[in-house]
Structure 1
Amino acid sequence: MTALVLTLLMSVVINPSRIESGPEASRYFLRHQLDWIEDESRLKVWEKSFRIGATWADGFANVRKRLSFASRDYLFATRDQPSALEYMATCKQFCEVYNLTRYIVSSGVDDVKVPVFLDGKDTGFTEEIKIGRITFDNKSRILAFSSNPNAMLVYGGDVGLDEFPRHQRAEELYQVAQARVTWGFDLAMWGSHFGNDTLFYRIALDARAGKGGWSHHFTTIEDAVRMGLVEKINETRGTTFTRDGFIADCKKRARDEATYQEAYMCNPKGGTAAIVPWSNIELCRVEVEAERVHLEAGQIKDLFGEFRPETKIARDARIHEFLTGAFPRLLASTARHSLGYDVAASGQGDLAAVYVDRIEAAVSTAAGLMTFRTDDWDFHDVVTRWFMDRVVAVRGAGDKTGLGAKICWELEKHYPGRFVGISFTSSKSDLGFALMNRLATAEKRWPKDKEWDDVATDYYALRKTFVGKKWVFTAGTNQLNQASHCDIGWAGALSDEGGKNAGYTGATEDIQTWGRDRSDRSEEREFAMEG
């Protein structure tokens, strides 16, 4: 919203009764937002489209309620830490703009240790998480939590579950949340659907039928447009959307009708489940260091120039030099490795991914990851060959379906016995099943640090359903990396498949392939050029 609109809202907060006057309040909020703000029901559920201002409306209602009631906390839970902190910033913004900061005693982010549970049992371990906090002078607080539901265990108060269908541990979160409101507090949840097998969808069905005591709200993107969303966007952002043009833009970005129906029209897709529970994904995240690089098409052009046959040798050398600087730890590793190459050739669409694991007994741990978006096939070729040439004891596999047919055929010929092309058409079910088992047993691992969080959500976004006599695996939405349609996860699966190839024969293989032991770095520059 503009500063002018925010300033006008001051009067609404300072004098809460004015929010109930339709003509006055409609200057600041749309009807679907007002319906949520004005609803004082103890149990509320809101089926909603993406990006219609639901969380903003809840922040407004929440600040107003904390100031109206002493010693009444609000526990806000969402899917990740950035979303939790963004909500706190919104609440604080209300207080600042409305000149109500004098009522804030303290605010900030606290580090808290919470117990780690597995299958409902306390493991004895703890995990450190961050909790956003605003404390008012009437002893009411707003507390914002992210992914770990157990962070809420010691608190009581009103609860809001933001984008609840997309929370990785929704069932566990709900069990904790519903107990927090036992002493007469409120419980609200809202979100856009994520399949029809979620707890949110089941609760929404009850609410639609008038069961369970839930107050039901339902707002599609087309509902919000009819209530003035496009005009509000144009007013605050300076855009010039028409209503029809805005809806057309939503449909274009959704890419298909099923996605549009789920994301914008509150009609969830058919039932699928995550490849493994989130608790298994957590066990695959370990304290280990690994290197990672991502390049967009423009960056590739700026760093290395456009491909031209007459400048290929010099361009290849620049790419080799860049990769050598980006993956020093991977190059220094003397372990056995496997590589997965998920092929995509677009400057704007899906990711291409080269995923390298370090193999130790039955466990494969990510050692390097390169993702890029470009239709520069020469870059694809140079990058994949560099990894195959330079990484010690590496075996690889790539997706030879469709666009990947030619490049995987060439890699197979160039690295016989060391690289194999895999047809997703015939082998995707087997790949997914093998990956599912390795994730379930934590034999597939990757770094726990924040830079790799989207890898965890990429694996978790893989959906499974049992059709006929086999599992069918599809790509869901990666909430932390919208560019990846499980491209990273499938590259990880291909890496496991590549690792099944014949074992490494050590220094003998190095000498046969490169003419010297890999540990010999005396001719590093020449060696890089040979790649």
Structure 2
Amino acid sequence: MTAVLLPYQQQWIADTAQVKVCEKSRRVGLSWGEAANSALEAAKQGGQDTWYLGYSQDMAQEFIRDCAWWAGHYQIAAEAMEQIVVEDEDRDILAYRINFASGNRITALSSSPRNLRGKQGRVVIDEAAFHPDLPDLLKSAFALLIWGGSVSIISTHFGVDNPFADLVNDIRAGKKPYSLHRITFDEAIEQGLCQRVFAASKRIWSPEAQATWAEEIRAIYRPNDAEELDCVPSNSTGAYLSRALIESRMSSDCKVLRYTCAEGFDQLPDHVRATHAEEWLEREVAPLLATLPRTARSSIGMDFGRSGDLSVLIPLLEMQGLERVNPFLVEMRNVPFKQQEQIVFWITDRLPRFGYGAFDARGNGQYLAEVAMQRYGSSSIAQVMLTQNWYLENMPKLKAAFEDGTLASMPKDRDILDDLRAITVVKGIPRIPEGKTKTGQGQQRHGDAAVALCLAWFASNQGGGSIEYIEVPLGGYSTGQAAPSNFMRPTTSLDLPQIERRGDW
């Protein structure tokens, strides 16, 4: 038997969060699904009233009619829709209502915040982006939560600077503890929207007919189809992070360390390459590591590149006040795989209280991500496939860290600034777009530091494995020598054999 509701409608109804939000395409039937939920809630003994707020009278009437249809579908005793007048201190308000045998009711009001004064129950705010005063409306709605109510916020986007877009971004950034749903036109089609439309209009469905129908709908909405159908707020093609915001977190005390290998370096003998990298680490990195507070918890993010893009390694230290600082950043250009492994392990072994690392595991980066996991354990290393969904979930959290100062410092450097400014919103997702940029020296970049920083921020918010540490000195050693005693080194049985072989590069 075919379900009446499509999967995304079922998921919305099944979500029992006190506050839930959905950014959606036009005409995917989510309000109709919400009407199904409202009718069920009103029919229950011990259920709740529902207060529906659309931005127009037509929306109010349509929602109440949908609730009445669902009451009939459920064979629930309910009165016919009635038109009522709600007295207000400024003017009387026209509203629509259905009363149920349970004693509960569904009432559709206009969008004025004062309409919710003294009310209890569930609040549904439909097409929230189009309400004239959404922030005040939400304040009034949230007052109902104290007595066990709930708030459902549904909308298509209406511009990147709209309060609804801000609300969605705050949820993704972790600033608001609300449940978030996203339904694009294409996702709705994949879950059966076109078949449902064709069945209702008595048309014969086929894959070809569906493709034609989808293109016809897109043609109707162009040039605004991205916003109307794909959940992409308009005017969202600029830089995701402003220059002023980035520079406010930059410090000249944080360093960028650049290690570049000449052409043909990868053809040199193993011991020559290892010695060259070791000498650079001792000269450039060791003095910085010696200044790090040994009580800070550290994490790393690594964006991988080999022949074209850079590899960027970013450590973050979590300080006593929970702010994160980036004491230095390592860029590697044209560095062989084995030396990248050598550098990453050398630095990570010496970071204070290392807890977690996130590695770009796409393409050739999968090798380094895998050996890091084998060295430090799967509970301490994330092998990240940088998908659109990963960016969608994690880039807003990085932006929030810039805004609230949780990311307290990072290197003051023109190339790092350019990398971070390269983050743009592509089809509603903040990410590094395709294409390359060049530095003032004509060298190629592709937002590498921005990706590494996002990975590092992700890593800094993970739990990390149960790695115990001992103190050993900072400096190199060869096979058979006693271990140095001034760096922090993992001592788990899983990792120790590989660490003891460090002199055998």
Please give the range of the TM-score, normalised by the shorter of the 2 chains: 0.3 to 0.5
| Structure exhibiting the larger radius of gyration computed from Cα positions | 2
Q: Which has the higher helix share?
A: 1
